[in-house]
């Protein structure tokens, strides 16, 4: 399963970065292959200053070794070793009309001190963070997510959509980071489902990413925008930073396992503003977005 999924994310990284370069038309991904001193490494691909993408990364990594003390406490285990691999992507478009997107698909194995595998699971998802709300974009993204889920189980979409809303939540702001999508974790072997079943599900979602996101980019990339709308995007990017640094378990896992810092923090936007006590005008497009972030909707 390790080899199968590592091979899958290698191919998926190639597919996604090639398609993003084509649509951007200007910038190309800079690749950094890195090694983790304690075991494993990764292949980071970052795009900057493109026609469409102001900054973004599509990274794969496979790391292994002794499970750090803090993570042992978290999982309630002792003397454990681990293997983790995954693909993580975040894209911050230049235009505030094109939404930011995040996706991640990962696989984890845990071993006892004899090296015997004691646990294994998949996790991941994909979610959309717009700066201006176009209902048809939200509906499209969620429709593709639902289709990927429904191919495996009709209960998956409602379950993982709700988990996504709950997870990507800036509790200190009482608002969602974005419009959600899918989030799942600890997908483990059960009586009904083998690890191969979960692999099939997770890779169906991974394969759906470009179909979920690219049509939105194509629809919005040439829409004109004003300086005030760019400012609003940069202020909202501040909320993205707050979520990733204060709440995101993936970021904290990376920091605690001595991951490559530049690969973990590639998720942070290129330019961000924090204005004191900023509130959009009532009835504005900006206020309408906030309303939906405070009250997640069912889009399909």
203 vs 257, beta carbon nearer its own copies: 257
What is the CB neighbour count within 10 angstroms for residue 221? 17
Residue list 139-178, contact with its own copies (CB under 8 A) = 172-173
Are residues 248 and 264 in contact, defined by beta-carbon separation less than 8 angstroms?
A: no
Who contacts 217 (Cβ-Cβ below 8 Å, separation ≥6)?
Answer: 23, 52, 93, 98
Question: Minimum Å distance from CB 141 to its own copies?
Answer: 25
CA distances from 191 to 74, 83, 204 (A): 26, 24, 21
Who contacts 271 (Cβ-Cβ below 8 Å, separation ≥6)?
Answer: 54, 234, 237
Residue 276 binding its own copies, by CB under 8 A: yes
Compute φ and ψ for 272, nearest 5 degrees: -135, 145
How far is it, in rounded angstroms, from Cα 218 to Cα 206? 20
| 26, 188, 275, 291: residue in contact with its own copies (rule CB under 8 A) | 275
Residue 28 binding its own copies, by CB under 8 A: no
Are residues 56 and 213 in contact, defined by beta-carbon separation less than 8 angstroms?
A: no
| 31, 223, 262, 284: residue in contact with its own copies (rule CB under 8 A) | 262
Part in contact with its own copies (CB under 8 A); list of ranges 144-152, 189-197, 233-241, 286-294 = 233-241
46 vs 149, beta carbon nearer its own copies: 46
32 vs 109, beta carbon nearer its own copies: 32
Residue 290 binding its own copies, by CB under 8 A: no
Compute φ and ψ for 13, nearest 5 degrees: -60, -45
Print the binding letters for residues 55-84 with its own copies: x by CB under 8 A, - otherwise. x-x---------------------------
Q: Is 102 a catalytic residue?
A: yes
Question: Minimum Å distance from CB 277 to its own copies?
Answer: 4
- Looking at 10, 64, 92, 102, which residue is catalytic? 102
Residue 242 binding its own copies, by CB under 8 A: yes
Residue 210 binding its own copies, by CB under 8 A: no
How far is it, in rounded angstroms, from Cα 244 to Cα 200? 28
The DSSP annotation for 213-230 comes to HHHHHHHHTT----HHHH
Adjacent-strand bridge partners of 108: 84, 121
Tokens representing 35 are 């090694």
Question: Minimum Å distance from CB 220 to its own copies?
Answer: 23
Q: Pinpoint the alpha helices (H) of 151-183.
A: 156-167
Question: Minimum Å distance from CB 296 to its own copies?
Answer: 20
Residue 271 binding its own copies, by CB under 8 A: yes
Residue 32 binding its own copies, by CB under 8 A: yes
Number of residues that bind its own copies (CB under 8 A): 29
Evaluate the CA torsion angle 188, 190, 193, 196 in order and state its sign.
Answer: positive
Question: Minimum Å distance from CB 174 to its own copies?
Answer: 9
Residue 23 binding its own copies, by CB under 8 A: no
What is the CB neighbour count within 10 angstroms for residue 253? 18
Q: Which residues are catalytic?
A: 102
- Binding residues for its own copies, per CB under 8 A? 30, 32, 46, 48, 55, 57, 172-173, 234, 238, 241-242, 245-246, 255, 261-262, 265-266, 268-277
């Amino acid at each position: 399963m390790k080899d199968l999924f590592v091979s899958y994310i290698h191919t998926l990284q190639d597919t996604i970065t090639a398609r993003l370069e084509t649509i951007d038309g200007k910038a190309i991904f800079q690749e950094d292959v890195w090694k983790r001193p304690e075991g494993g490494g990764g292949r980071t691909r970052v795009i900057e200053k493109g026609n469409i993408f102001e900054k973004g990364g599509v990274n794969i990594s496979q790391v292994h070794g002794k499970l750090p003390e803090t993570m042992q406490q978290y999982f309630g285990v002792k003397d454990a070793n681990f293997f983790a691999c995954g693909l993580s992507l975040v894209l911050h478009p230049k235009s505030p009309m094109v939404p930011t997107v995040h996706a991640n698909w990962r696989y984890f194995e845990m071993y006892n001190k004899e090296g015997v595998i004691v646990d294994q699971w998949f996790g991941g998802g994909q979610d959309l963070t717009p700066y201006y709300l176009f209902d048809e974009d939200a509906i499209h993204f969620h429709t593709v997510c639902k289709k990927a889920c429904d191919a495996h189980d009709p209960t998956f979409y409602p379950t993982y959509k709700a988990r996504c809303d709950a997870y990507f939540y800036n509790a200190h702001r009482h608002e969602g980071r974005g419009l959600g999508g899918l989030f799942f974790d600890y997908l483990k072997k059960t009586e009904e489902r083998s690890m191969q079943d979960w692999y099939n599900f997770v890779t169906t979602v991974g394969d759906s990413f470009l179909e979920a996101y690219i049509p939105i980019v194509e629809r919005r990339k040439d829409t004109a925008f004003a300086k005030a709308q760019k400012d609003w995007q940069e202020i909202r990017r501040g909320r993205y930073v707050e979520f990733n640094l204060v709440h995101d378990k993936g970021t904290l896992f990376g920091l605690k396992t001595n991951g490559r810092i530049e690969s973990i923090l590639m998720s942070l936007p290129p330019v961000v503003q924090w204005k004191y006590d900023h509130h959009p005008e009532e009835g504005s497009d900006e206020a309408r977005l906030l309303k939906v972030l405070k009250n997640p909707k069912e889009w399909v």
